[in-house]
A and B are shown apart, each in its own frame.
Chain A
């Protein structure tokens, strides 16, 4: 009787008709298969098959854009879980916070994770922009991607700000009151804009519902849309741009 070996099992799986209908390339033992891993995968094919070795250095980008992206993934994952327990109404929203903290399994953990990931995303986006500025990575051909990045920063701030109201505690209510009172100072459009945002003249149940819809539907959709453009353009503009190179020679290769 032969003993069980894991490699036998993986070989059997890899050679099965079902597996080969999903993954059409072999194991990553040749450069050809390593290429196929990238460009036969919807999610990985934002990458080229080969990258410049220097772009792998930590100080090339400090991974700040990537860290911000991962924070947004964490936010989507934990946000969906939190949505299962949340009612955007007064005072049920606040009771749901208590429910999350004292009744729901791991409720505190997911709420904490959502909160700290949100701070990380805002901070990460800011630091990423500073890195890009000091590395002069906004220079042609990447001008428009910088503008997309500014839009993404604004969406990130709005996401964080709309989420700030949802617990409906004193911190949320007065934090949002302070912010929206500033908005009404804008000439002409200020007051109508504030009315539209709050669904009234004060922060109320209507404002909670509107912020909820913005936070869970409108702004995440906008984020994914601009994020797609942002990442696609990195590839189109020749990959991540690190610190400026010393211009020892301006010779052009044919």
Chain B
């Protein structure tokens, strides 16, 4: 600290030895912050804090209005001797309960939920999720065979259990994947489809299947887990 600093002299030269250039090697999967360009920054207070406060109030007010309009369900005292028909789990488990109708309990209750949770955990570590480009950007012949093979396999597997609620969305998603070959032509929707990556197709298929199973389980299953119309549902829905 006490030493006097050397006076700095500007270097006027193009010699790379005299004026070293800094080169950074960045791998594609590196931090996005390294790749940023010029961006506009604003003060957190008030810009973000005010928006957060508004969001907070809107959610609380919205919930309060819903709570004033709709009562939470309450049925009779629990009675282990009187089984309601049908007895249903909460809505977020009704997809699984619907699967119970088609598959043995160990598959619907253990194997499938286990696979779903495992698949969710490995998403950020699977290479396909980090590098995937638009679906048809690679080898088209191989991809056609792969999609067709997987679809046929799924259709045969789930048809064997008569689980049309999975067969139908699987066929629809496969058809949409082939529709995405339009190479930037056609309607804006078809052009959008061409940009969808394989992981996104798989997730969309999963969400579609889960939503259909949950909706069927919630609104279309009556006594003995038989198919009924929602308006013919014996209470409780």
Q: Contacts A66-B55, A139-B124, A185-B106 hold; do A161 and B42 have CB atoms under 8 A apart?
A: no
In the complex, which residues of chain B have a beta carbon less than 8 angstroms from the beta carbon of A154? 117
A164 CB → nearest B CB, Å? 5
- Quick check: A113 and B64 within 8 Å, CB to CB? yes
The answer, yes or no, to whether A178 is at the interface (CB within 8 Å) is yes
Whether A108 is near chain B, meaning CB under 8 Å from some CB there, is yes
The answer, yes or no, to whether B59 is at the interface (CB within 8 Å) is yes
Say yes or no: B55 contacts A34, CB within 8 Å: no
CB-nearest residue of chain B to A111:
B72
Question: Could you tell me which residues of chain A, from 137 to 159, have a CB within 8 Å of some CB in chain B?
Answer: 138-144, 146-147, 150, 153-154, 157
Are B78 and A254 in contact, CB atoms less than 8 angstroms apart? no
Which residues of chain B are near A254, meaning CB under 8 Å? 22, 24
- Residues on A with C-beta less than 8 A from B108 are 182
Contacts of B139 in A (CB 8 A): none
Specify which of B36, B43, B100 is in contact with A31 (CB 8 Å cutoff).
B43
Check: B153 CB closer than 8 A to any chain A CB. Answer: no
Interface readout for B81-92 with A: 1 if CB under 8 Å, 0 if not? 011100111111
Asked whether, in the complex, the Cβ of B97 is within 8 Å of the Cβ of A178, the reply is yes
Q: How far is the CA of A174 from the CA of B85 in the complex (A)?
A: 10
Q: Are A173 and B80 in contact (CB under 8 A)?
A: yes
| Chain A residues closer than 8 Å to B52, beta-carbon distance | 66
- With both beta carbons as reference points, the residue of chain B lying nearest to A179 in the complex is identified as B89
Question: Is there contact, CB below 8 Å, between A150 and B236?
Answer: no
Q: Determine whether the beta carbon of B63 is less than 8 Å from that of A116.
A: yes
Are the CB atoms of A250 and B26 closer together than 8 Å? yes
Tell me whether B77 and A49 are in contact (CB under 8 A): no
Q: Other than the known A51-B41, A178-B97, what 9 A-B pairs have Cβ atoms closer than 8 Å?
A: A28-B46, A94-B77, A112-B67, A114-B72, A133-B123, A146-B124, A160-B90, A182-B108, A185-B109
Chain A to chain B contacts (Cβ below 8 Å), 30 pairs: A35-B45, A44-B49, A47-B44, A50-B41, A50-B43, A51-B41, A52-B39, A52-B41, A53-B41, A66-B55, A90-B78, A108-B71, A111-B72, A115-B67, A115-B72, A116-B66, A129-B120, A130-B207, A139-B32, A140-B31, A143-B125, A146-B123, A161-B90, A168-B77, A171-B73, A173-B80, A182-B105, A187-B106, A203-B80, A252-B34
Write the residues of chain B forming the contact surface with A, with a CB cutoff of 8 angstroms.
22, 24, 26, 29-37, 39-49, 51-52, 55-56, 59-60, 63-64, 66-68, 70-80, 82-84, 87-93, 96-97, 100, 105-106, 108-110, 117, 120-121, 123-125, 129-130, 200, 203, 207, 236
